[in-house]
């Protein structure tokens, strides 16, 4: 059993702040055979998450610390057009979003944040 507590999150924030990407993932799967993605993602202000989509699965994002904006887009002939944005902040009662399968999205981190992400398909570290 692995406790998810303030010590773990603080260690992840330290690693994220020191990393070039300004974020750090923690894989919560317990075996390599687990084909889901369940992970913690600690995000520092300044991290850049390219606009992307998951063609085969929806994605659940739960914010349990900090403040960030989830932004969804549609693809047009001219590029991407923003279609929605939701600010997540657990202190203010806005905890998470469900991003539909195939929807283009990204995040903007407004203050150091921690999220839980879940979707189908195993996470593969870069």
Expressed in angstroms, the distance from the first to the final Cα of the chain is 26
- CA 3 to the chain's CA centroid: 20
- CA 83 to the chain's CA centroid: 19
Question: Is the confidence at residue 34, as pLDDT, over 80?
Answer: no
Q: Which helix (H) or strand (E) holds 84?
A: strand 79-88
HSE at residue 63, side-chain half, CA atoms within 13 A, is 27
Each residue's pLDDT tens digit, 82-107: 999 999 999 999 999 999 999 999 99
**What is 6-120's CATH number?**
2.60.120.10
* Residue from 124, 115, 18, 21 nearest 61 by CA: 115
* Residue from 48, 19, 47, 34 nearest 123 by CA: 34
- Report yes or no: 43 and 63 within 8 Å, Cβ to Cβ: no
Each residue's pLDDT tens digit, 13-28: 999 999 999 999 998 8
**Pair of tokens at residue 108:** 């903007």
DSSP 19: S
Domain spans of the chain, in order of start: 6-120
* pTM, to two decimals: 0.89
């Amino acid at each position: 059993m692995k406790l998810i507590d303030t010590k773990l999150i603080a260690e992840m924030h330290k690693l994220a702040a020191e990393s070039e990407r300004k974020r750090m993932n923690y894989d919560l799967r317990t075996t390599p055979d687990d084909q889901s993605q369940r992970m913690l993602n600690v995000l520092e202000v300044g991290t850049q998450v390219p606009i992307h989509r998951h063609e085969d699965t929806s994605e659940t994002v739960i914010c349990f610390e900090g403040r960030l904006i989830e932004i969804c887009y549609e693809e047009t002939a001219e590029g991407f057009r923003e279609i929605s944005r939701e600010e997540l902040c657990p202190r203010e009662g806005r905890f998470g979003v469900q991003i539909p399968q195939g929807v283009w999205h990204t995040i903007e981190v407004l203050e150091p944040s921690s999220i839980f992400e879940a979707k189908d398909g195993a996470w593969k570290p870069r």
